[in-house]
Amino acid sequence: MADKVRQFTIYRIKNLDRAEQEYYRTLQRTLDKIEDDVVKLAGRELPTQAGKLIELQSAIAIRPKIRTILQTEFLGWADTLTKKGFNRQAKRIERAFKGIGNIPIEFQELTKGDLELIRNLKLQTFTQFKDISNTFTKRLADKVYQNTLVGREFVELEQELRQTINGIYSRSDDKEAQKLVEFVKKNKNKKSMQVSVDKAVQTLQSKFGRDRAGDNMRKYASQLLNDGLREFDAQVNAYKSSEAGLTHVKYFGDIIPTTRDHCKKILRGVYKVRQSNVFSVDEVRKLYKRLPGWSGKKPGDPLIVRGGYNCRHQWTYVSPDWYDGEGNLII
């Protein structure tokens, strides 16, 4: 018998992956445009003498114009993600509930309560993107002011502005990271290599962190893109399951080189309390409390934040009665 629970959970996960890739590509284009627009703005608005910045008044006046660029471009992108992208995933959850069956018919479709939750989650995630926009508006404006204050050359300011938005990939002692760094530097301006470069950048950001990818707007936006999509899925799934009276969960997802150790152990049944590897929600929370800390651990309910930042696994709500004594699905 086909495992419908696994099939529809993998369906959700794969579509989350596709959505992230789609919106990461548009994010990259958006940030590249912001980078060019901010540098062009600075070139027009900031007077120089012998190549050096000379006028503080202009450096102060540029701040609201930087804010306008980020609000128009970045928040326009975030608005599309939280409306179109989140709506699509909500419909996939609805399809999964219908496909699994064995759930009261009135809870298989999106309910009034589900729709209210979805609206709130959209607003919550958009507000987080707005915080990123405000933070980097200030950082960019501060870069302009500080460089002008000490009379640095415009080319130095330009480099700092570009790095603040899209990052710099500096040398690394880690062989894997350094290989990715060299690949990005070599191919970042080649259109034919864009997909491969995007994947290399994502690996640098998710696996090696800010010391490899730089403390920049791209890093924070791409992390929120990943976590926002997956936590939206987790919260809507949890709410619908609670409505339907499901109080147990099972963990799903692939094991890849960057998979955290405790995620591997849950997936492989190391912590299982039933042959089916099904946990009650209370058992999951107790398990996470006794686990040692790990890199990338994120505060919050483990049923929502799962393995932490950039985790690609998902819990699916089930009933232990759906499984036989050997752990096989019987519905």
User: Which tens digits make up the pLDDT trace of 7-17?
Assistant: 999 999 999 99
The Cα 268–Cα 324 span in angstroms is 18
Between CA 187 and CA 198 the distance in angstroms is 10
Give yes or no for residue 250 having a pLDDT over 80. yes
Q: pLDDT-derived band of residue 323, with 50, 70 and 90 as boundaries?
A: very high
As a whole number of angstroms, the distance between CA 50 and CA 197 comes to 37
Residue 170: pLDDT over 60 = no
Other CB atoms within 10 A of residue 64 CB: 10
Q: Is the pLDDT of residue 241 over 80?
A: yes
d(C-alpha 60, C-alpha 63), whole Å: 6
- pLDDT(189) > 60: yes
User: Helix crossing, 112-149 with 86-100: angle to 10°?
Assistant: 150
pLDDT over 60 (residue 63): yes
How much is the pLDDT for 60?
Answer: 97
Structure tokens at 38: 């901010």
Contacts of 185 (CB under 8 A, 6+ apart): 169
Taking only the tens place, the pLDDT of each residue in 39-50 is: 999 999 999 999
Which of 90-94, 198-202, 323-327 is the most confident on average?
Answer: 90-94
Predicted pLDDT at 163: 86
* pLDDT (0 to 100) of residue 107: 86
Q: How large is the average pLDDT for residues 119-128? A: 97
Q: How confident is the model at residue 213 (pLDDT cuts 50, 70, 90)?
A: very low
**Does 280 have pLDDT greater than 60?**
yes
Write phi, then psi, for 189 (nearest 5 degrees).
-100, 10
Residue 176, pLDDT above cutoff 50:
yes
Q: What percent of the chain has pLDDT over 70?
A: 94
Average pLDDT, the chain: 90
2: phi > 0 → left, psi -120 to 50 → alpha, else beta; which?
beta
pLDDT, residue 211, reads 40
Mean pLDDT for 157-185 is 76
Tokens of residue 277, six digits:
């590897």
Q: What is the reported pTM?
A: 0.83
CB contact at 8 A, 81 and 225? yes
pLDDT score of 39: 95
Angle between helices 154-166 and 4-45 (to 10 degrees): 170
- Mean pLDDT (whole number) for 242-266: 93
Flag whether pLDDT at 93 surpasses 70.
Answer: yes
pLDDT, position 296:
86
Q: What is the pLDDT of residue 253?
A: 94
* d(C-alpha 16, C-alpha 12), whole Å: 6
pLDDT over 90, % of the chain: 74
Helices (H), the chain: 4-45, 56-61, 63-80, 86-100, 112-149, 154-166, 175-187, 194-203, 210-213, 217-243, 261-267, 281-290, 302-305
Give the C-alpha distances (Å, rounded to integers) separating 313 from 33, 41, 75: 32, 42, 27
Lowest pLDDT segment from 28-37, 114-123, 201-210: 201-210
DSSP 276: T
Rg, the chain, Cα only: 23
Give the model's pLDDT for residue 188: 72
Mean pLDDT computed over 185-214: 68
205 — pLDDT class (breaks 50, 70, 90): low
pLDDT at 230: 95
